[in-house]
Amino acid sequence: MADDDKQNVDKVKALQKAREQLSRDWLSEEREKSRLTAAVDSLPVGFMMVDDYQKLIKKNPAVDKILGTCDSGEWTISAIQAKIGPAYDFAGDVVRSYRERIQIGPKDVSFSSKLLRFYMSPIVVIKESLTASGTVILIEDIEASKS
């Protein structure tokens, strides 16, 4: 009976130690995530991340500053394509970057009174993976960056 009690006490101590380690690791991950979010949000270029279905999962404030407000409320790949018009196949390049796992850009596009530069890059977590997990899109207002 005493051996059972000691084993239970040892198991509880091991579980408490594991919980404390998980808490420290979780806190560290949350801090890192906060740093990364703050860094992306402070970029002067528009930053967007879309998943493997081309659904927008992250956008920084510079996107709205560069493109203006979205006519349909929420930015989507098709809403951006509609906003910049048919002169550049933005939606096609997003799909192409993802499917072919290639970087695209710089692509310069006249938009309103601005000259925008687009870059796209697939998100590849494991180099041997057959597919990317999404695409990163950068939009730079070239005229604004010159001033």
pLDDT tens, the chain, 147 aa long: 677 777 887 888 887 887 877 777 777 777 887 888 888 899 999 999 999 899 999 999 999 999 998 888 889 999 999 999 999 999 999 999 999 999 999 999 999 889 999 999 999 887 666 667 899 999 999 977 665
Could you confirm whether domain 44-146 is CATH 3.30.450.20? Answer: yes
C-alpha distances in Å from residue 92, one per residue of 18, 32, 77, 127: 48, 33, 10, 23
Neighbour count for residue 92 (Cβ, 10 Å): 12
> Both tokens of residue 21?
């380690």
